[in-house]
Chain A
Amino acid sequence: MTEIIKSVVCPICGCLCDDLEVTVENNEIVKMKNGCAVCEAKMVHGYKSDERILEPHIRKNGKLVPVSMDEAIYKAAQILTDAKYPLLFGWTSSASETQHVGVELAEELGCALDNCCSVCHGPSVMAIQEIGIPTATLGQIRHRADLLVYWACDPWSAHPRHVERYTAFTDGRFEKSEFKEYVQKLKGKASKKKVEAAIRRTQVRYQPPPRPQTAIVEAPPPTLAKTGRKMIVFDVKKTMTAEVADYFVQVEPNSDYEIFGAMRCLVNDQEIDVDKVGGVPVEYLKEIVDAMVNADFGAIFFGLGLTQSVGRFRNIEIAIAMTRDLNRKTKFVISPMRGHFNVTGANTVFAWQTGYPFALDFSQGYPQYNPGEFTANDLLRRGDNDATLVISADPGAHFPKSSIQNMMKHPLITINPDWNAISRLGDVVFPAQWCGIEQAGTAYRMDSVAISLKKVVEAPKGVPSDEEIIKRILNKVRVIKAQKTRKDVTETKNVENKKI
């Protein structure tokens, strides 16, 4: 039986493209339309891989043994209640409904709770708390923005449909697409190459021009002054997005902060005492700032190149400060390029539940917040926690060795759909449904717009959703805690009776 499902939401990156057309045959996705390569890799091939976990496992004598769901739930609840200070980490590839139950579990356990944003865009959240954020939804940017700045991110590779759906290559109501110009540019480049090759063939000995040893920033092109859409890319290397852009500024690594500082001075019409900042001549920066000030509606998108390089949240703070300064002269917005499809949802759900977006601690009975103190990587590096639950994330592949070594000293519970690096290390391993493919739910796009994920196919038999697993663990934890208190009460009563 073939069925075509329209308007399916893609559960991969923060773009949450909601225009996919999926063809389902015999409960299997066979074909899809409109998806990018990353989306197709997961939704057509990846979700039905051989590496799928189909039943719960418990480590016995060093080997993972399949067990019943009840046994695994009991074991997990036992580990979490016995531990003095567990850590619950992950959440960003789960639906918001699961995250909601997760906060309840963390409060019941009095433990640390963190999501993957502490190793991606957590610094952006911290900077927003320091200084605020002038931002807009992607729809606004699509229809109105005429200057697009991508800073330290590569959407062409990491968010493949971002440029096509929301920024330069889309036809907005007030701004036209740049795609035709881009094709022309490509054609021009190709013919230029042909001419060069022909010249080369006529010469007896061709000597290639010497390559510059250090990065040289080219002067801004005259197209920067044109009306219509323009795209500027700041990065440390020439990425795919930089190839597409009107102007690419290659900055020295870890010098974004200084460049933002200099640009802020220029936006505020102040002179600066140096000629070059972060490898970029100040006269070029002046032209870029001119283009920014002359834009009708500008948008800055920033990626992990800012949040995870030297300076971290201070980089974002100064980027937002520059946007604030630009807003005195024109309209400018700034937006983070969020990674996992529901990492914004994790921040949003944690914030409306507890008041804080990530790096939470419930050990005092009330939520405390302090990145650096309660973030997962810092806790693990110091060896502060004594049990870990990982859900819909893979720190095993992405965390530093020292953190994982400390994690492995204590029991580890994992809830993941497939056998990734962390599942293989787990002591209790749960299977889970693929959120957005086998499980419906809510996710938040990178501009904090809530979008409903669709269920496209049925999950394999016996594989529950992660929400159900967390709910069952929570109930079991409550039962064990009640038994413990009852035991304590009877023990104290017995002691008192003996005394009498």
Chain B
Amino acid sequence: MITITPKRKFDVPIQAACINVDIFTGKTLEDIKKLAITEGKENLTLNDAFNITEDKTVETPNITLIGDFSKVKRIGQGMKTGEIIINGNAGMHTGEKLAGGKIVVNGNSDGWTGSEMKKGLIEIHGDAGDYTASPFRGTDTGGMKGGIIIVDGNVGSNVGCYLRGGTIKIKGSAGRFLGHHMSDGTIYIEKNCASRAGTFMTGGKIIINGTIELVMPTFTIDSIKPKVKVDATLNAPGPFYVFLGDIAEHGTGKIFALKTTNPALSTYEKYL
């Protein structure tokens, strides 16, 4: 196991895509210390900014980061195997393009966490920022394709945009534009959801266990269902209002909103 701690408080963002199990495997501690990072425009080695120690007795997790990493971007970018634990906050683009393995954040994570993810697991035991599991600007093919993201706290806006597969479970509340343009996959929220969920969606499902601020007029009520399957391990008990949409995009995505917590949606019952 490699343990990394910051040497000082960072003011300027650090790009450290090299903190990655695939890159670390097969390298000695000396080689790892020489890996290149950038702090602003300055080219540094990993050793210049971080204290790095190796504990050969422990196998997993492969990398442990201790301290505040909120200014360190691209941790575990494109990782295929192994496990990274971050005991502290993680910066932007954590676990971007993840293709396997596991990343655990014992703190908050910033924007674009798990962006363009294909496989693997990201656990965030705090809040997640905006654009979690969403692709870069202007890429409609770069949405999350698979894997699981679990957030214990709240998430910001634009979470799960262009989602094409995989599962996002949020134990707190979600901001606006949840699952914007999604075509497949599942988003499950245990608490409340702000307005404009599922806009432009053409497939997949969003399950809301708390209140939804407003259902877009581009959604039409389909039925009331007693329960809904989130994934192989979890069935959410209902009853749920089922909304179909986005009808302006001729979509067949589904929003499940819990009946007991959403009395305002009872006006839709006359259309059933």
The answer to whether A363 and B40 have CB atoms under 8 Å apart is yes
Show the binding face of B for A, using Cβ within 8 Å.
11-13, 15, 38-42, 71, 92, 111-112, 130-131, 136-138, 140, 176-177, 180, 195-196, 199-200, 214, 216-221, 246-248, 268, 271
Are A383 and B11 also in contact (CB < 8 A) when A126-B137, A370-B137 are? yes
- Within 8 Å by CB of A372, from B11, B111, B138, B177, lies B111
The answer to whether B40 and A84 have CB atoms under 8 Å apart is yes
Measured in the bound complex, the distance between the Cα atoms of B216 and A325 in whole Å is 18
Measured in the bound complex, the distance between the Cα atoms of B17 and A363 in whole Å is 14
A111 to chain B: closest CB distance in Å?
Answer: 7
The answer to whether B41 and A130 have CB atoms under 8 Å apart is no
In the complex, chain A residues whose CB is within 8 Å of the CB of B271: 273
Measured in the bound complex, the distance between the Cα atoms of B40 and A85 in whole Å is 5
Are A265 and B218 also in contact (CB < 8 A) when A84-B40, A311-B196 are? yes
CB-nearest residue of chain B relative to A267? B248
Measured in the bound complex, the distance between the Cα atoms of B268 and A272 in whole Å is 11
- Within 8 Å by CB of B12, from A271, A369, A386, lies A386
The answer to whether A273 and B217 have CB atoms under 8 Å apart is yes
| A261 is an interface residue with CB less than 8 A from chain B | yes
Measured in the bound complex, the distance between the Cα atoms of B221 and A181 in whole Å is 46
- Within 8 Å by CB of A130, from B15, B112, B140, lies B140
The answer to whether B92 and A373 have CB atoms under 8 Å apart is yes
Given contacts A261-B218, A272-B218, 7 further A-B contacts (CB under 8 A): A85-B13, A85-B40, A85-B41, A258-B217, A363-B38, A369-B137, A373-B112
In the complex, chain B residues whose CB is within 8 Å of the CB of A130: 137-138, 140
The answer to whether B42 and A84 have CB atoms under 8 Å apart is yes
**Contacts A/B (CB < 8 Å), 24 sampled:** A84-B12, A85-B13, A109-B41, A110-B41, A111-B40, A258-B195, A258-B196, A261-B217, A264-B218, A265-B217, A265-B247, A265-B248, A271-B220, A272-B217, A272-B218, A273-B268, A273-B271, A311-B176, A311-B177, A314-B199, A363-B15, A364-B15, A372-B130, A384-B12
CB-nearest residue of chain A relative to B42? A84
CB-nearest residue of chain A relative to B181? A130
In the complex, chain B residues whose CB is within 8 Å of the CB of A363: 15, 38, 40-41
CB-nearest residue of chain A relative to B243? A273
| A199 is an interface residue with CB less than 8 A from chain B | no
| A342 is an interface residue with CB less than 8 A from chain B | no
A375 to chain B: closest CB distance in Å?
Answer: 11
Residues 204-263 of A contacting B (Cβ, < 8 Å): 257-258, 261-262
Are A84 and B39 also in contact (CB < 8 A) when A273-B271, A364-B15 are? yes
The answer to whether A318 and B12 have CB atoms under 8 Å apart is no
The answer to whether B196 and A314 have CB atoms under 8 Å apart is yes
| A500 is an interface residue with CB less than 8 A from chain B | no
In the complex, chain A residues whose CB is within 8 Å of the CB of B176: 310-311
| A492 is an interface residue with CB less than 8 A from chain B | no
In the complex, chain A residues whose CB is within 8 Å of the CB of B15: 363-364
Are A386 and B40 also in contact (CB < 8 A) when A129-B137, A314-B199, A370-B136 are? yes
In the complex, chain B residues whose CB is within 8 Å of the CB of A272: 217-218, 220
In the complex, chain A residues whose CB is within 8 Å of the CB of B137: 126, 129-130, 369-371
The answer to whether A364 and B92 have CB atoms under 8 Å apart is no
In the complex, chain B residues whose CB is within 8 Å of the CB of A343: none
CB-nearest residue of chain B relative to A410? B11
Measured in the bound complex, the distance between the Cα atoms of B158 and A332 in whole Å is 29
Measured in the bound complex, the distance between the Cα atoms of B31 and A452 in whole Å is 57
CB-nearest residue of chain B relative to A314? B177
